[in-house]
Structure 1
Amino acid sequence: MSMQGGEEMEFGKQIKKLRQEAQLSQEELAERIYVSRQTISNWENDKSYPDVNSLVLLSETFQISLDKLIKGDIEVMKDVIQKEEIEKMNRYGGIYTMMLIASAVSAVPLFMLLGVWAPIPWGIIWGIAMYFAFMLEK
């Protein structure tokens, strides 16, 4: 999670850091936001994530805005989503390229082998290429 100092930090580590800066034990923080000590531990170890009500109470307890409390997590999620999108586009681009090459290379052999029936398999190959071209344009 990106903090103002430029350091990368996960949400759980941020909660722990804020709790320690406020000189609160897990038990004391748990009492202030109406959850169990185990819940605080789970958050700090990134085993679970606070619900909206708990986020508001954490924000009030640590006297920071909700935006600052969760902003880094949102940035991390955006990075993950962006990387997934790039991987998907690369995969679609590879399939599109292969199918386009296959449709170009297979046209003559298919017509020689299948005669009037050649447009059927060739059309399927070309259709798959166009499907992935469309997916790349989205």
Structure 2
Amino acid sequence: MQFANVLRKRRKELHLTQQQLADKLHVTRQTLSRWENNLSYPNLDTLVNLSEFLAVPLDILLKGDGNLMVNKISQDVRDKDKYKRYLMIVSAIFILIFLWLSVLGYGRASQNEWIDRFNPFGKFYN
């Protein structure tokens, strides 16, 4: 059984509304509705809280048919790592550009000819 079906079935067995369960999990009712309609999945810490509150083992929530949730969570983790790597590369490029411009600015301010020789903007000021 899929995560959405297990969640909906167990919530109804406990005679809880979506709002009541959402309040217990500290999420919005719309978020819970998206989970029950298989439009999104909870993050891992919320999934653990959900498992404890509904008294449903995590492996039943996670495995389901086709392991869709496990695949989705795994993909999210991989995407997060990929974006983190991109952010590090872009940050390094900005830092290098800042350092290069700082060196050029220092060379121009101190009239250091050796540094000024590499300044592509300095030629316009002479």
Report the TM-score, using the length of structure 1 for normalisation.
0.46
**Higher relative contact order (Cα pairs below 8 Å, separated by 6+ residues):** 1
Alpha-carbon distance in 2 for matches of 1:14, 1:64:
9
Report the equivalent of 2:5. Answer: 13
1:53 partnered with 2:30: no
Alpha-carbon distance in 2 for matches of 1:63, 1:14:
11
Report the TM-score, using the length of structure 2 for normalisation.
0.50
User: How is 1:42-81 mapped onto 2 (pairs within 5 angstroms)?
Assistant: 42-73=34-65, 76-77=66-67
Consecutive unaligned residues in structure 2, runs of 5 or more: 72-126
Secondary structure of the 2:56 match is coil
Provide runs of 4+ in structure 1 moved above 6 Å.
Answer: none
Alpha-carbon distance in 1 for matches of 2:28, 2:2:
21
Alpha-carbon distance in 1 for matches of 2:8, 2:61:
12
> Could you tell me which amino acid in structure 2 is paired with residue 26 of structure 1?
Q
* Pairwise CA distance, 1:10: 2.0
Q: 2:15 aligns with which of 11, 16, 23?
A: 23
Consecutive unaligned residues in structure 1, runs of 5 or more: 1-8, 82-138
Secondary structure of the 2:64 match is helix
Secondary structure of the 1:50 match is coil
Deviations 1:74-107 (A, max 9, x none): xx138xx9xxxxxxxxxxxxxxxxxxxxxxxxxx
